[in-house]
Amino acid sequence: MRSYQDISNEVRGLIAQTLKIPIEQVMEECPIGDLSEDSIQLFELLITFEREYGVQAHYEDVVNLNTVGDIIVYIGRVVDGVR
Amino acid sequence: MQGIMTFIPMGKVYPSEIARSMYGYVKGVPSDSWLTPSERTYQRKLPYIKRFDFCRGREAAKRAIMAYMETYEHIRISPEYIAIYSESGVPRVRFDAPYTFLSDALCLSISHTEDRAIAGIVPRSCARSVGVDIEHIRLFSKETLRAFLNQSEYDFCRDTGLEYATVYWSLKEAFLKAWGTGLRVHPIHVEIPPMNLYVRQTNFFLSGEEVPVNVSWTKDDNRYIIASITLV
């Protein structure tokens, strides 16, 4: 089981890569909607999560998450049971 | 590529014959002069970059509402009497006194991208809801295309032109806004037969169920797709 910090670093890296922004901008308290330019970028982020973590079945949950921190917690629960 | 909106969005306000709908379109430097005091207070709490989107969206919406009121209701109303608020993510229109009797008479949808915003309104007496979307035309990765297009849509875009992928995205997002869920419903669940792209009154399919829609879309500035869906 990976630590919260490991998952946080990995998820923040994926967000930065997909949204094409520096990882330093991807802070846990940031609303994800403020980091992405539009809905298509957010959708591409969901595809990235599907590919990396197999969260497709939880699409409706993922789009309701607000901050980067919320996403990290959610991915942690889905993948590793980290709380 | 030619869309099926009857207006060419180069000015500020556009009437459409579909269900007495009206569109407001704003580009460039935003102004907060269109905001009510409470909207201005809210706007100041937003991240700096989001304030511009907020102002453009409110201006586009109020232009559309004012034009609708003047054209169809013969009422001249200024923006300080119009408040736009969000209810479960859906924008709503409220009119302040002496126009409170008009509140909830209109359905509203707003979309923005980069330096522009579009708003569509339609009276509840003519339609159930409206959804609009504006997107920068882009080249999607194959993985993304496969994620939101079904096979016939994918084949159509591949054979006809990849710009149509942005048309499909905009129509699906506009449809889901009009449906009331937005992207909480996965866009792959919306199916638009390619032959229906150029039919103004047609059916889309949501999880296999037919949904009657009025469709408008156009290409603007050679770089953007604007789409509007009205549910009747």
Q: What would the pLDDT profile of B92-109 be if each residue is shown by its tens digit? A: 999 988 888 888 899 999
pLDDT at B12: 46
Q: Do A60 and B185 touch (CB under 8 A)?
A: yes
Query: Is any Cβ of chain A less than 8 angstroms from the Cβ of B50?
Result: yes
DSSP state of B34: G
pLDDT for res B8: 44
Per-residue pLDDT at A57: 54
Cβ-based contacts of A40 with chain B (< 8 Å):
135, 138, 140, 144, 169
Interatomic CA distance for residues B5 and B227, integer angstroms: 8
Whole-number pLDDT of residue B109: 96
- Across the interface, do A39 and B183 touch by the CB < 8 Å criterion? yes
Band of pLDDT at residue A62, cut at 50, 70 and 90: low
With cut-offs at 50, 70 and 90, classify the pLDDT of residue B193.
very high
Instruction: For chain B, report the end-to-end CA distance as a whole number of angstroms.
Output: 27
Arithmetic mean of pLDDT, B6-25 = 64
Residues B145 and B154: their CA atoms lie apart, in Å, by 7
B164 has a pLDDT exceeding 90:
yes
Number of neighbouring beta carbons within 10 Å of residue B8: 11
Q: Model's pTM, two decimal places?
A: 0.89
Give the pLDDT band of residue B2 (cuts 50, 70, 90). Answer: low
Interchain CB contact of B88 with A (< 8 Å): no
Which residues, listed in sequence order, are joined to residue B25 by a DSSP beta bridge? B118
Confirm or reject contact between A4 and chain B (CB < 8 A): no
B114 in contact with A, Cβ within 8 Å: yes
Number of residue pairs across A and B with CB atoms under 8 Å? 37
Cβ within 8 Å, pair A47-B143: yes
Q: Which of B133, B135, B144 sits opposite A44 (nearest CB)?
A: B144
Residue numbers of B between 202 and 231 with CB closer than 8 Å to A: none
Task: State which of A35-39, A58-62, B165-169, B194-198 shows the largest mean pLDDT.
Answer: B165-169
* Amino acid at site B75: I
Predicted confidence band of residue A54 (pLDDT cuts 50, 70, 90): confident
Residue A31 pLDDT exceeds 50: yes
The confidence score (pLDDT) of residue A25 equals 92
Whether A44 and chain B come into contact, CB under 8 Å, resolves to yes
Closest-CA residue of A relative to B146 is A47
Instruction: Residue B225: name the closest of B110, B117, B135, B109 by CA.
Output: B135
Beta carbons of B47 and A39 less than 8 Å apart: no
Q: What is the pLDDT of residue A83?
A: 46
Whether B148 and A34 lie within 8 Å, measured CB to CB: no
Residue A63: predicted pLDDT: 67
User: What rounded mean pLDDT belongs to chain B?
Assistant: 88
Query: pLDDT digits over B18-45, tens only?
Result: 667 889 999 988 888 999 999 999 999 8
Return the pLDDT at B11: 41
Copy the structure tokens of residue B227.
């789409």
Name the 3-class secondary structure at B217.
strand
Max CA pair span of chain A: 34
Query: Within an 8 Å CB–CB cutoff, is residue B162 touching chain A?
Result: no
pLDDT tier at B57 (50, 70, 90 boundaries)? very high
